[in-house]
Amino acid sequence: MNIQPTKIDSLFVIEPTRLADERGFFARTFCEAAFREHGIDPTIRQCNVSFNHKRGTLRGMHLQREPHAEAKLVRCTKGAIYDVIVDVRPESPTYCQWVAFELSADNGRQLAIGKGLAHGFQTLTNDAEVFYQMSESFHPTSSTGYHYNDPVFQIEWPLPVVCLSDKDNAWPLIQLQTT
- The active-site residue, picked from 68, 119, 132, 147, is 132
Q: Is the pTM of the predicted complex or chain greater than 0.85?
A: yes
Percentage of the chain exceeding pLDDT 70: 99
- Inter-CA distances, 21 with 18, 26, 64, Å: 10, 9, 41
Q: Known catalytic residue: 132?
A: yes
Computed over every residue of the chain, the mean pLDDT equals 96
Percentage of the chain exceeding pLDDT 90: 97
- Strand-pairing partners, residue 45, are none
- The active-site residue, picked from 62, 95, 119, 147, is 62
Q: Known catalytic residue: 82?
A: no
pLDDT at 176: 85
Contacts of 2 (CB under 8 A, 6+ apart): 14, 15, 16, 17
How many beta carbons lie within 10 A of that of residue 15, not counting itself? Answer: 14
- Inter-CA distances, 25 with 31, 75, 78, 103, Å: 18, 17, 17, 18
For residues 89 and 76, give the distance between their C-alpha atoms in angstroms, rounded to a whole number: 26
pLDDT at 178: 65
pLDDT at 154: 97
Average pLDDT of 94-112?
98
The predicted-structure confidence for 31-66, as pLDDT tens digits, reads as follows 999 999 999 999 999 999 999 999 999 999 999 999
Question: Where do the domains of the chain lie?
Answer: 2-17+30-169
The end-to-end CA distance of the chain, in Å, is 36
pLDDT at 177: 73
pLDDT at 134: 97
Average pLDDT of 18-22?
96
Our measurement of the distance from residue 46's CA atom to the centroid of its chain's CA atoms, rounded to an integer in Å, reads: 15
The predicted-structure confidence for 30-40, as pLDDT tens digits, reads as follows 999 999 999 99
For residues 47 and 90, give the distance between their C-alpha atoms in angstroms, rounded to a whole number: 28
pLDDT at 61: 98
Assign a CATH topology to domain 2-17+30-169.
Jelly Rolls (2.60.120)
pLDDT at 179: 55
